[in-house]
Amino acid sequence: MNIIIFGPPGAGKGTQAKYLLKKFNGFQISTGDMLRDEITKDSEIGKRIINNMNDGKFVNDEIVNKLIENCIFDPEKKNKLIFDGYPRSLSQAKNLDFLLESSDQKIDYIFFLNVDKDTIIKRIEKRKIIEKRSDDDLNTILKRYDTYMETTKPVLDFYSKNPNFHEIDGSLKIDEITRKIETFINV
Ligand code: AMP
């Protein structure tokens, strides 16, 4: 079973992905975490992406596509993929479809956590205190939200026609969202 958790920054994608990976023995594919790792390691990729990430801009498709390609073709992760933060653009969504098809896989569930801008700002300001992420300051949050509205929203139109697409109120409490997700997943 492969799952996409989709939604704006601060929607709670990572939190729900972590729950699902424990419950279903899955693998969280968080492009944000992978990119932050590259920055921490001060790798070549890390050096190329640090400015974009700190500015709330997207990282080049070529880099993120390569990161997820490695996961999709990893036999250990096959049909256990929980995508969190990917795809974020129409071209990424099409790339994902292509890679899944090439590896004889499909998306079983797409959960869209819908949250309004004010809630996002409040949540991310709280998260900044706990996680100390450099892209969680107010200016960057606003840029990340704008980037989401411009580039990521079209992905919704792409997925909303899919019978496995489910919209969930992302302003609910964590366990309420989890319960809603569980009502759709039949195992
Ligand atoms: P996240 O942890 O998912 O909120 O991602 C943090 C930042 O990483 C984003 O603001 C982007 O700069 C970058 N990023 C994460 N995932 C992607 C992606 N799929 N495409 C492009 N940039 C991404």
Q: How many CB atoms lie within 10 A of CB 187?
A: 6
Distance 127 CA to ligand 1 centre (A): 16
| Domains parsed from the chain with CATH numbers | 3-185 (3.40.50.300)
Pocket probe for ligand 1: among 28, 30, 35, 148, the residue whose CB has the most ligand atoms within 8 Å is 35
The pTM is what?
0.91
The pLDDT of residue 132 is above 90: no
If one compares 133 and 165, the residue with the highest pLDDT of the two is 165
The pLDDT of residue 106 is above 80: yes
Report the candidate in 36, 42, 41, 101 with the shortest Cα–Cα distance to residue 64: 36
The pLDDT score that the predictor gives to residue 36 is 94
The pLDDT score that the predictor gives to residue 60 is 93
- Average pLDDT for 23-38: 94
The pLDDT of residue 186 is above 70: no
Pocket probe for ligand 1: among 45, 127, 135, 150, the residue whose CB has the most ligand atoms within 8 Å is 135
Written as one letter, the residue type at 121 is I
Burial tier of 125 (Cβ tally within 10 Å: 0-12, 13-18, 19+): middle
The pLDDT of residue 122 is above 70: yes
Helix axes 117-131, 138-147, angle to 10 degrees: 130
Distance 187 CA to ligand 1 centre (A): 30
- Average pLDDT for 22-30: 93
- Cβ of 53 less than 6 Å from ligand 1: yes
- Average pLDDT for 110-123: 92
Write the pLDDT tens digit of every residue in 137-176.
888 888 888 989 888 778 999 999 999 999 999 999 999 9
Report the candidate in 111, 118, 109, 110 with the shortest Cα–Cα distance to residue 171: 118
